[in-house]
Amino acid sequence: MTLLHEPDLGTPAVKSDIEVELVIDGMPTRVPAGTSVMRAAALLGTAVPKLCATDSLEAFGSCRLCLVEIDGKKGTPASCTTPCEPGMVVHTQTPKLEKMRRGVMELYISDHPLDCLTCPANGDCELQDMAGVVGLRDVRYGLEGANHLDAPTDDSNPYFSFDESKCIACSRCVRACDEVQGTFALTIEGRGFDSKISPGGTDFMSSDCVSCGACVQACPTSTLQEKTVIQIGIPTRTVETTCAYCGVGCSFKAELKGNELVRMVPLKSGGANEGHSCVKGRFAWGYASHPDRQLEPMVRESITDPWRKVSWNEAITYAATRLKDVQAKYGQQSIGGISSSRCTNEEVFVVQKMVRAAFGNNNIDTCARVCHSPTGYGLKQTFGTSAGTQNFASVAKADVILLIGANPTDAHPVFASRMKRRLRQGAKLIVVDPRRIDLVRTAHIKAEHHLQLLPGTNVAIVNALAHVAATEGLLDEEFIQTRTEEKAFRDWFEFIKKPENSPESVEAISGVPASELRAAARLFATANNSAIYYGLGVTEHSQGSTMVMGMANLAMATGNIGREGVGVNPLRGQNNVQGACDMGSFPHEFSGYRHVSDDTVRHQFEELWGTALQAEPGLRIPNMLDSAIDGEFKGIFIHGEDIAQSDPNTKHVKAALGAMECVIVQDLFLNETAAFAHVFFPGTSFLEKDGTFTNAERRINRVRPIQPPKTGKHEWEIVAELSQALGYPMQYGSSAEIMDEIATSTPTFAGVSFAHLDKVGSVQWPCNEENPVGTPTMHVDGFVRGLGQFMVTPYVATEEKSNRKFPLLLTTGRILSQYNVGAQTRRTENVNWYPEDLLEMHESDAELRGIVDGSFATLSSRVGETVMKVTITDRVPPGVVYSTFHYPTSGANVVTTDYSDWATNCPEYKVTAVELRPSIKPPQEIGMAAADLGLELVNE
Amino acid sequence: MKYLTWTDEAALEVVREHAEKPGPMLLTLQALQERFGYVETSLLPSIAKELNVSRAEVHGVLTYYSDFRTTPPASRQIHLCVAEACQALGVRDVVKELAAAGYEVGERSKDGATDVVGVYCLGNCALGPAALVDGNLCGRVSAKSLVAQVTS
Q: How far is B140 from B131, CA to CA, in rounded Å? A: 9
* Integer-rounded Cα radius of gyration of chain A: 29
Give the per-residue pLDDT at A300: 97
Tell me which chain A residue has its CA closest to the CA of residue B54.
Answer: A443
Portion of chain A with pLDDT greater than 90, in percent:
88
Q: How far is B128 from B151, CA to CA, in rounded Å? A: 22
Residue A686, Cβ density class (10 Å: 0-12 exposed, 13-18 middle, ≥19 buried) = buried
Q: Which of A185, A190, A444 sits opposite B56 (nearest CB)?
A: A185
Check whether A197 has a pLDDT greater than 80.
Answer: yes
Sign of CA dihedral A846, A849, A850, A851: negative
Q: How far is A40 from A29, CA to CA, in rounded Å? A: 8
Give the per-residue pLDDT at A924: 53
| Other Cβ atoms closer than 10 A to A489 | 21
At position A317, the amino acid (one-letter code) is T
Tell me which chain A residue has its CA closest to the CA of residue B53.
Answer: A443
Beta strands per DSSP E along A33-91: 69-70, 89-91
Shortest CA distance to A198 belongs to which of A209, A208, A186?
Answer: A186
DSSP 8-state secondary structure symbol assigned to residue A187? E
Q: What is the pLDDT of residues A125-154, one digit of tens each?
A: 999 999 999 999 999 988 888 899 999 999
Instruction: Could you please state the CATH topology (level 3) that the domain comprising B76-151 is classified under.
Output: Glutaredoxin (3.40.30)
Indicate the average pLDDT of chain A: 94
Indicate the average pLDDT of chain B: 95
Interface probe with B: pick from A173, A184, A448, most Cβ of B within 10 Å: A184
Residues A263-284 have a mean pLDDT of 96
A24, containing H or E segment: strand A19-24
Q: What is the pLDDT of residues A328-385, one digit of tens each?
A: 999 999 999 999 999 999 999 999 999 999 999 999 999 888 888 899 999 999 999 9
Instruction: Could you please state the CATH topology (level 3) that the domain comprising A298-369+576-673+689-696+708-734 is classified under.
Output: Rossmann fold (3.40.50)
Residues of B within 8 A of A182 (CB-CB) are none
Give the per-residue pLDDT at A923: 59
- Helix intervals (H) in A387-457: 408-411, 413-424
DSSP 8-state secondary structure symbol assigned to residue A454? P
Q: How far is A754 from A923, CA to CA, in rounded Å? A: 47
Q: Which of A187, A190, A446 sits opposite B56 (nearest CB)?
A: A187
| Contact between residue A177 and residue A218 where contact means Cβ atoms under 8 Å apart | no
| Yes or no, beta carbons of B59 and A187 under 8 Å apart | yes
Shortest CA distance to A56 belongs to which of A417, A467, A595, A502?
Answer: A417
Residues A617-632 have a mean pLDDT of 95
Shortest CA distance to A463 belongs to which of A528, A529, A413, A507?
Answer: A507
Give the per-residue pLDDT at A344: 96
| Yes or no, beta carbons of B56 and A208 under 8 Å apart | yes
Check whether A274 has a pLDDT greater than 70.
Answer: yes
| Contact between residue A762 and residue A271 where contact means Cβ atoms under 8 Å apart | yes
Q: Which of A188, A200, A441 sits opposite B54 (nearest CB)?
A: A200
Check whether A940 has a pLDDT greater than 80.
Answer: no
| Yes or no, beta carbons of B52 and A183 under 8 Å apart | no
| Contact between residue A365 and residue A340 where contact means Cβ atoms under 8 Å apart | no
DSSP 8-state secondary structure symbol assigned to residue A833? T
Check whether A742 has a pLDDT greater than 80.
Answer: yes
Residues of B within 8 A of A443 (CB-CB) are 48, 52-54, 57
Residue A909, Cβ density class (10 Å: 0-12 exposed, 13-18 middle, ≥19 buried) = buried
| Yes or no, beta carbons of B54 and A191 under 8 Å apart | no
Q: What is the pLDDT of residues A500-548, one digit of tens each?
A: 999 999 999 999 999 999 999 999 999 999 999 999 999 999 999 999 9
Give the per-residue pLDDT at A926: 42
| Yes or no, beta carbons of A183 and B54 under 8 Å apart | yes
| Contact between residue B80 and residue B51 where contact means Cβ atoms under 8 Å apart | no
| Yes or no, beta carbons of A189 and B63 under 8 Å apart | yes
In chain B, helix, strand, coil percent, each to 5?
50, 10, 40
Give me the residues paired with residue A788 across strands: A484
Quote the ipTM score.
Answer: 0.92
Give the per-residue pLDDT at A929: 39
Instruction: Could you please state the CATH topology (level 3) that the domain comprising A153-289 is classified under.
Output: Alpha-Beta Plaits (3.30.70)
Check whether A928 has a pLDDT greater than 50.
Answer: no
| Yes or no, beta carbons of A208 and B57 under 8 Å apart | no
Residues of B within 8 A of A210 (CB-CB) are none
Check whether A667 has a pLDDT greater than 80.
Answer: yes
- Helix intervals (H) in A809-908: 843-849
Rounded to a whole number of angstroms, the distance from the CA of A14 to the nearest CA of chain B is 28
Residue A134, Cβ density class (10 Å: 0-12 exposed, 13-18 middle, ≥19 buried) = buried
Check whether A41 has a pLDDT greater than 60.
Answer: yes
Domain with CATH 3.40.30.10 in chain B: 76-151
DSSP 8-state secondary structure symbol assigned to residue A356? I
- Helix intervals (H) in chain B: 8-19, 24-36, 44-51, 55-64, 84-88, 91-100, 143-151
Q: At what angle do helices B24-36 and B55-64 cross, to 10 degrees?
A: 60
Q: How far is B28 from B8, CA to CA, in rounded Å? A: 14
Check whether B145 has a pLDDT greater than 70.
Answer: yes
Give the per-residue pLDDT at A648: 83
| Domain boundaries defined on chain A | 19-134, 153-289, 298-369+576-673+689-696+708-734, 373-570, 808-932
Superfamily of domain A373-570 in CATH is Dimethylsulfoxide Reductase, domain 2 (3.40.228.10)
Q: How far is A300 from A172, CA to CA, in rounded Å? A: 56
| Contact between residue A844 and residue A771 where contact means Cβ atoms under 8 Å apart | no
Shortest CA distance to A143 belongs to which of A103, A113, A115?
Answer: A113
Give the per-residue pLDDT at A646: 82
Give the per-residue pLDDT at A938: 35
- A725: Cα separation from own chain's centroid: 36
* Integer-rounded Cα radius of gyration of chain B: 17
Shortest CA distance to A375 belongs to which of A620, A571, A545?
Answer: A545
Q: How far is A810 from A661, CA to CA, in rounded Å? A: 35
| Yes or no, beta carbons of B57 and A207 under 8 Å apart | no
Residues A819-838 have a mean pLDDT of 90
Question: How many interchain CB pairs under 8 A, A with B?
Answer: 59
Q: Which of B52, B56, B66 sits opposite A200 (nearest CB)?
A: B56
Rounded to a whole number of angstroms, the distance from the CA of B63 to the nearest CA of chain A is 5
Instruction: Could you please state the CATH topology (level 3) that the domain comprising A19-134 is classified under.
Output: Ubiquitin-like (UB roll) (3.10.20)
| Contact between residue A250 and residue A318 where contact means Cβ atoms under 8 Å apart | no
Give the per-residue pLDDT at B1: 62
- A581: Cα separation from own chain's centroid: 16
Give me the residues paired with residue B133 across strands: B78, B136
Give the per-residue pLDDT at A647: 83
Give CA angle at A426 (A423, A432), nearest 5°: 50
Give the per-residue pLDDT at A933: 35
pTM of the predicted model as reported, rounded to 2 decimal places: 0.93
- DSSP-assigned states of every residue in A373-385: HHHHHHHHHHTSS
Rounded to a whole number of angstroms, the distance from the CA of A831 to the nearest CA of chain B is 24
Q: Does A45 touch chain B (CB under 8 A)?
A: no
| Yes or no, beta carbons of A189 and B59 under 8 Å apart | yes
Residues A844-856 have a mean pLDDT of 95
Give the per-residue pLDDT at B27: 96
Length of chain B: 152
Q: Does A188 touch chain B (CB under 8 A)?
A: yes
* Residue A27 to residues A89, A323, A467, A885, Cα–Cα distance (Å): 9, 72, 61, 60
Residues of A within 8 A of B60 (CB-CB) are 187-189, 198
Residues A1-20 have a mean pLDDT of 94
Q: How far is A227 from A263, CA to CA, in rounded Å? A: 9
Q: How far is A663 from A300, CA to CA, in rounded Å? A: 11
Q: What is the CATH number of domain A808-932?
A: 2.40.40.20
SS3 state of residue A551: helix
Give the per-residue pLDDT at A931: 39
Q: What is the pLDDT of residues B129-140, one digit of tens each?
A: 999 999 999 999
Q: Which of B41, B52, B64 sits opposite A201 (nearest CB)?
A: B41
**CB within 8 A of A836, min separation 6: which ones?**
A869, A887, A889, A890, A923
Q: How many CA atoms lie within 13 A of A350 on its CB side?
A: 29
Interface probe with B: pick from A187, A197, A874, most Cβ of B within 10 Å: A187
Residues of B within 8 A of A186 (CB-CB) are 56
Check whether A886 has a pLDDT greater than 90.
Answer: no
